[in-house]
Amino acid sequence: MKKVLLSIFMISIALCVYAATDGKIISTIVHAEMELACEDCHNTKEPVKRAPVSTCKGCHGNLDGTYKGMLSDDGKLSEKVYPEGNSTKTVNFHNSHQGDLRCTLCHTAHKQPVLYCNECHDFKVLVK
Amino acid sequence: MKKIFAYSSNVIKVFVCIVLFSFTAYAVDIQTDIVIVGAGGAGLSAALSASQGGAKVMLLEKDVTVGGTGNFAEGIFGVETAMQRELWIDLTKDKVFMDEMTEMHWGTNAALVRNFHNHSAATIEWLISQGVKFEGPSHNFYGNNKTWHLIDGLGAGLIKALNEKVVKDKNITLMLETPGRELIIKNGRVAGVKAENEDGEYNIYAKGGVIIATGGYANNIEMVKKYTGLKNPVNIANLKKTGDGIKMAIDAGATTEGLGIVQTIAGKDVPNGGRVDVPLSMLANQPRNIWVNADGDRFCNEWISFDFVSASNSIKREKAVWAIFDTNIRKYYMTEGTDAGIGVIGKAMTKMANFDEIWSTAEKTNDPYIIKGSLKDISKKTGIPYENLKKTVDEYNKNSARNIDPNFAKDRQWLHTLDTSKPLYAIKMKEIILTTLGGIRVNKNLQALNEELEPIEGLYVAGNDAGGLFLGSYSLNSASGTTYGFAVNSGRIAAQDILAKMGKGKK
């Protein structure tokens, strides 16, 4: 009985949340173009929380369970030059000095994306 | 009517059940040896030290990643280190300890300071073994003891190295985005921590003890105003330090020491909600400038700009402070460089060749805290009475022409007559909080003490959450690198004390 009540409770919350966000993909637009459904990332038809990063890595991973950015032709991690503050920095956003960050921190899908690095830095870039 | 009533009462029953049930939602029980609240410099060090001594560790971090302000620090305190010997720096533990305690007029926890200093060399060796690289001992003030061991990659480099170890360590479970909420007290002993995250709630029971390491309260405006007396506080490089750990410990009966002491630097004031402008801060915080208060008087020897502690202590006392320099000094900054730096992020003798660009960028945002114009313009825009401001500048110019400063003893090197026939530059200054320095009173092994000054079993407090290192203010003279050094060392010492009490090996 308890489990049933919990499920009802969770589902009603989920429906509220779903109604609020509309489940629409407004960033990582490619996912919308591919017509991915909720369960493709959230593993459930009625998501109540963020997609687990394991599903992101399932498609985007570097095969070792991590994603550290697009590899160069010879399979190495690549860095690029980006404008930062009044000058530039050469970085790989997916190989942060902060270690592994969850994909959904920046790639928010149902909200405007944000570059987490800019909590401290000042990179002039847009996130997909 | 009856039908509707009967139907609605069922709905109400279900709703009430759901509401009641949600409040009794399952909390997951976790058993471990040590639980650490906060994964900054202290928490990461404590976790690795505990694991390497054979303990199982739950490491909680409320932010999305680790390190906290540890990412911004620059150097670690050490005395009698191998790096010092390599550079013929013959500081001894005794000398540095006596210097520091004299500086603090012995109004601090001498046993704690001594324990921290004594561990510092071994801690640096340990950090190196964990993959942290060092540039070496350095100065950050004239003639101060070279105890500040600069980290290669600065604070972020240390955090990166320790984090890499933590995520690979099988004894340590790191839970990100999981704030600790409350201590669990059983039979008069701190038995664990209640925590929560998106997935649910947790009661984490720790056989050995709890280490609180949440970094102080610099981001908690109410606490800052209450304990420091600072109105309109501005801080830099502080992330989510809302005093969680201090509050938890106080709720568990701990007493405090030094609440209200802050570590501040002198920089440019920040218009609402903005970030500290480092280049303009550096341009204001220079010995060649004059600093005037809201009355238009000088109030210090601007040479103190070389020591961020002294500069900010002096500025803090004034209602408002404006740094003023002229076109000749501006040219000096562009071609020769800034004499005083800001730690390592703003190096001393940086040539500010892009001065005009920095200035016009700020002008474009209508920054109210920079003014370029005549003395009358400055008076008008700042509210400083013109007559007194002119009197101050005239007197300063008269004395500077004779290389003397009878008012505040500034050395001839830094005395310039200000050319008031050309535009002057004014930058509003502010004391900017780097971190809070007081917190829970602890003994030399970082055990939290109650009001009877007895240790609270099972409770340790490390890093900036602990008090007793400083009296009045921070100091660079004797033991620079103390904030970050204490974070790492106190985490280690706390973990080692728990291990010893559990009968587990020390490493």
Chain B positions touching A5 (Cβ under 8 A) are: 14, 17-18, 21
Instruction: Confirm if A77 and A92 have CB atoms less than 8 A apart.
Output: yes
What's at B464, amino acid-wise? N
Q: What is the number of alpha carbons within 13 Å of residue B464 lying toward its C-beta?
A: 30
Q: Which helix (H) or strand (E) holds B395?
A: helix B386-401
State the smallest CA–CA distance between residue A49 and chain B in angstroms.
Answer: 8
Cα first-last separation, chain A? 44
Which pLDDT belongs to residue A83?
93
The pLDDT of residue A19: 47
Q: Quick one: three-class SS letters along B202-268? A: EEEEEEEEEEECCCCCCCCHHHHHHHHCCCCCEECCCCCCCCHHHHHHHHCCECEECCCCEEEEEEE
Question: Which chain B residues are within 8 Å of A97, Cβ to Cβ?
Answer: 153, 156-157, 159-160
Beta bridge partners of B28: B202
DSSP secondary structure of B2-30:
HHHHHHHHHHHHHHHHHHHHHHT--EEEE
| Per-residue pLDDT, A3 | 61
- Rounded to the nearest angstrom, the minimum Cα separation between A11 and chain B is 11
CB distance A120–B25 less than 8 Å?
Answer: no
Look up the pTM and report it: 0.90
Contacts of B164 in chain A (CB under 8 A): 99
Among B65, B72, B198, beta carbon nearest to A99: B65
What is the Cα–Cα distance from B35 to B180, expressed in whole angstroms? Answer: 10
Q: How far apart are CA B292 and CA B314, in angstroms?
A: 11
Question: What is the radius of gyration, based on Cα positions, of chain B?
Answer: 26
State the burial class of residue B108 (Cβ atoms within 10 Å of its Cβ: 0-12, 13-18, 19+): buried
Best mutation target among A6, A9, A89 (most B Cβ atoms within 10 Å) is A9
CB contact under 8 Å between B163 and A98, yes or no, is: yes
Residue A55 phi, psi (nearest 5): -75, -35
CB-CB neighbors (< 8 A) of A101 in chain B: 64-65
- Asked whether the CA dihedral B122, B124, B125, B129 is positive or negative, the reply is positive
Residue B210's region, left for phi above 0, alpha for psi from -120 to 50, else beta, is: beta
- How far apart, in whole angstroms, are the C-alpha atoms of residue B152 and residue B135? 5
- Contact indicator for B464, B274 with CB cutoff of 8 Å: no
Identity at B306, one-letter amino acid code: F
**Measured between alpha carbons, how far is B138 from B76 in angstroms, rounded to an integer?**
10
CA distance A74 to chain B (A): 25
Considering only the beta carbons, identify the residue of B17, B65, B156 that sits closest to A101. Answer: B65
The count of CB pairs under 8 A between chains A and B is 53
- Are B167 and A49 inside 8 Å of each other by CB? no
Judge: B156–A97 Cβ closer than 8 Å, yes or no.
yes
Contact A21, A49 (CB under 8 A): no
B64/A102 Cβ within 8 A: yes
For A20-69, what is each residue's pLDDT tens digit?
556 888 888 889 888 889 999 998 999 888 999 889 988 888 777 788 88
Burial class (CB in 10 A: 0-12, 13-18, 19+), B433: buried
Tell me the per-residue pLDDT of B431-479, one tens digit each, with 9 for 90 and over: 999 999 999 999 999 999 999 999 999 999 999 999 999 999 898 889 9
Closest CA to B82 of B121, B115, B131, B126: B121
- Nearest Cβ partner of A99 from B25, B157, B167? B167
Please give the residue of chain B at the shortest CA–CA distance from A86: B358
CA distance B9 to A120: 54
Average pLDDT rounded to a whole number, residues A5-25: 60
Consecutive sets of 10 residues in chain B, 507 residues long: mean pLDDT of each? 53 55 71 98 98 98 95 95 96 97 97 98 98 92 90 96 97 97 96 95 98 97 95 89 98 97 95 86 97 98 95 96 98 97 84 94 94 98 98 98 98 97 98 95 98 98 98 91 97 98 76
